[in-house]
Amino acid sequence: MSDINKGDSILEIRGLAVEVQGKRILEGLDLTVRAGEVHAIMGPNGAGKSTLSQVLAGRPDYDVKAGTVRYLGEDLLALAAEERARRGLFLGFQYPVEIPGVNNVYLLKAALNARRRQLGQPEVDAFEFLGLVRDKMRLMQMDESFLSRGVNEGFSGGEKKRNEILQMTVLEPILAILDETDSGLDIDALKVVAHGVNSLKRDDRAIVLVTHYQRLLDHIVPDHVHVLAGGRILKSGDASLALELERRGYDWVRAEAAAA
């Protein structure tokens, strides 16, 4: 699918500072993500986790005050939201918006074709596309009726999250950022979602999980775990750090960082 090899740099964030409505949320954030890796970004409420996800996806009203973000060697911040998406950056939204009147499956087809045009590939025809989507829907244990409904219209919280992962598996991104994908899921739905994410793990792709709880990480094992608090990464470690956070909370990380 691509000429990206395991270990190649996919995302490099240096000194990122972001304001939202005049309020500084991120301050000097650094992060490097390489192909083949799964990262988990954890942190207390209000730490800036969602802000980071939204800024990487190009949300217009978030103000980048300082820092650089390189994505596959390109200046990510110079790209519009849709250009980032077409280059293979996927954001699984924490709160996927409902868009009544816009058909779910046609949005997905339009999104896939936008991505394929970028890759110089021919657009899929409706027949081919439906076959592909049906396969992925089986994987996500989704009902056929999702095809004909409006985007997230009347979906339950769990259905919205499944729909996000369905989109991800169809779009096959290079970098997937999943913002609190586990929140609002019961344990069965969590397993389905985790299965969908795991099916996407590859050497030429990276996954960033933004999450509150260790729970999701029982099902998707990260290579790197980062603690985001006060607008920057305070500590990084391997999967065991997540377990430690689950046990000890976040305060000790803050204390450690303050002492350093």
Partner 1 sequence: MSANPQATSPLAPLAAAQAGLPGGAAWGAWRADALERLMAVGLPTPRDDAWKYTNLRLLARRDLLPAAPRPLATGALDDLPAIAGPRLVFVDGRFHAALSAAELPDGCTFRSFAARFAAEAPAALGASLAGDARLADERLRTLNASLAADGPSLELAPGARPAEPIHLVHVATGGGAYPRTRVELGAGATLELVESHLSAGGAEAFVAAAGDFRLGRDATLTHSSLQLAGARTILLDDAAVTVAAGARYEHRLVALGGQLTRLDLRIALEGPGARAVLAGVFFPDGTREQHLRTLIEHHARETSSDQRYRGVASGRGRGSYDGKVVVHPGAFKTDSRQSSRNLLIGREAAIESRPQLEINADDVKCSHGATTGTLDEQMMFYLLARGLDRDTARALLTYAFVGDVLRRLSPEPLRRAAEARVLGRLPAAELLREFVP
Check binding of 107 to partner 1 (CB under 8 A): yes
Check binding of 57 to partner 1 (CB under 8 A): yes
Q: Which residues pair with 150 in a beta bridge?
A: 103
Phi then psi dihedrals of residue 199, to 5 deg: -65, -15
- Specify the pairing of strand 89-92 against strand 175-179: parallel
Task: Write each residue from 152 to 191 as x if it is in contact with partner 1 (CB under 8 A), else as -, in one continuous string.
Answer: ---------------x---x--------------------
Residues 8, 90: Cα–Cα separation, whole Å: 18
Residue 215 near residue 194, CB atoms below 8 Å: no
Residues 162, 164: Cα–Cα separation, whole Å: 5
Residue number with CB closer to partner 1 (9 or 118): 118
Check binding of 103 to partner 1 (CB under 8 A): yes
Among 82, 128, 251, 256, binds partner 1 (CB under 8 A): 82
- Specify the pairing of strand 224-229 against strand 206-211: unpaired
Q: For residue 156, what are the contacts with CB-CB under 8 A and spacing of at least 6?
A: none
Residue 152 near residue 99, CB atoms below 8 Å: yes
Tokens of 201: 């793990």
Check binding of 133 to partner 1 (CB under 8 A): no
Q: Which DSSP state fits 49?
A: H
Residue number with CB closer to partner 1 (31 or 56): 56
Tokens of 61: 């009203």
Check binding of 3 to partner 1 (CB under 8 A): no
Stretch that binds partner 1, among 39-47, 143-151, 215-223, 242-250 (CB under 8 A): 143-151
Check binding of 7 to partner 1 (CB under 8 A): no
Residue number with CB closer to partner 1 (102 or 243): 102
Span between the terminal Cα atoms of the chain, in Å: 44
Stretch that binds partner 1, among 114-122, 131-139, 199-207, 246-254 (CB under 8 A): 114-122
Among 1, 66, 80, 255, binds partner 1 (CB under 8 A): 80
Residue ranges in contact with partner 1 by CB under 8 A? 57-61, 80-82, 84-86, 91, 93, 96-97, 99-103, 106-111, 114-115, 118, 148, 150-151, 167, 171
